[in-house]
Amino acid sequence: MLYMKKKYWMIGMIMMIVLSGLPSFGARAGDEDAPEELSQLYARSAVLMDADSGRVLFGKEEDVVRPMASTTKIMTCILALENMQEDEVTAASDYAASQPKVRLGVKGKEEFRMKDLLYSLMLESHNDSAVVIAEGIAGSVEEFAVMMNEKAAELGCSNTYFVTPNGLDGYDDGGTHSTTARDLAAIMRYCIKESPKKDAFLEVTRTKEYSFTNVKGDRSFSCSNHNAFLTMMDGALSGKTGFTADAGYCYVGALEQDGRTFIVALLACGWPNNKGYKWKDTRKLMEYGIANYQYQTVWQDMELKDIKAEKGIKKGDEFGGDAKIPVKVADADKDFKVLLKEGEKVDVACDVSKVLAAPVKEGKKVGTVTYMLNGELLKEFPVITTESADKKDAGWCAGVLVKKLLMQ
């Protein structure tokens, strides 16, 4: 297990070095073209992301590693949803019962339905519920952290390292419990857009009030959603707050309007008594996205020339020269749209082989059409052959000679 944690820490360090040299998709705080309205954010790290593409539309120290407090719990929740059994019951350990506030108040050996604990986790941010969930899914907090780090790696969140399921400040031999604003937004994107349990995640995180009992039925609990963003803006989808002494106030949230979905992630967004800073930053970033970004159809039809197949012969063209093979763009998407702001331009490039070596099969990939924005790949489409050609080998030549002799 120690080896696994060190492995993810090393991957994260390598990828952080690699990614630091890549151009940013969108504007960054401090750039000449950075929007003036976003120049005074309270958060030390901030991201505005297009949830459909994963493109960062604005970033401020978006790749700086910082603690993330209870925003951690979006990962805990989605892993529980993806791994728990229907109506699964789990018992609280003494370790879970010892977790600091904020807590549900579980007791050692007390049994709960896993699905109930998810509302405790996401609505009230109970730290003990997070541990009960982690132990119920993986057997221990340490093993659950391995699952969290594996999922982060799958999502490309190489600057993220999980130690706890609740986000309390902590570290182990593998590193410090931390993430980046970019990675945190990417995890939320997975939760609401890509996970097979995305609908269940949204159902839990959008619930206003929830009540339940332990399995025995002798204790009752009520939860209220503390995500103020849900009633702050039209189209608010989901979100999670967080705070620790090291992390400061943190937030990650999502909003959908007019077919556009935006994600905001904030780290180190003030300390007491500035609890409201995260809401001001969230609104400012969301309003910037809504006002400035619209979907535009960027598909371009390509005029593709036939490709010569050297020593190739097509059926029915027995006495011709080298075959000419027609090609097309596969999986063409004439409705291909990209979220763009005024002045942004998508560059389209076509790279196709000029000559093919026979034999050639129909459906062979011979090139690509790429759509780029600010030097970053948005999407690529393969170019394929639409006909086949055999090779003019010795047997073919002999056959042609025989035919010519017979025609004399």
Catalytic residue of the set 5, 60, 73, 278: 73
E-strand ranges in 103-195 read 111-113, 171-172, 175-176
Q: Is 178 a catalytic residue?
A: no
Catalytic residue of the set 125, 158, 238, 388: 125
**Tokens 């080896």 map to which residue?**
3
Q: Which residues are annotated as a binding site?
A: 240
CB atoms within 10 A of CB 180: 27
Q: Is 353 a catalytic residue?
A: no
Collapsing DSSP states into helix, strand and coil, what is residue 170?
coil
Q: Which residues are annotated as a binding site for substrate?
A: 240
Q: Is 70 a catalytic residue?
A: yes
Alpha carbons 213 and 172: distance in angstroms, whole number: 35
Q: One-letter amino acid identity for 385?
A: T
Q: What is the DSSP letter of 173?
A: T
Dihedral of alpha carbons 351, 357, 362, 364, sign:
negative
Catalytic residue of the set 70, 93, 238, 388: 70
CB atoms within 10 A of CB 14: 11
Contacts of 203 (CB under 8 A, 6+ apart): none
- DSSP symbols for 331-367: T--TT-EEEE-TT---EEEEEE-SEEESPB-TT-EEE
Alpha carbons 167 and 42: distance in angstroms, whole number: 21
Residues serving a catalytic function are: 70, 73, 125
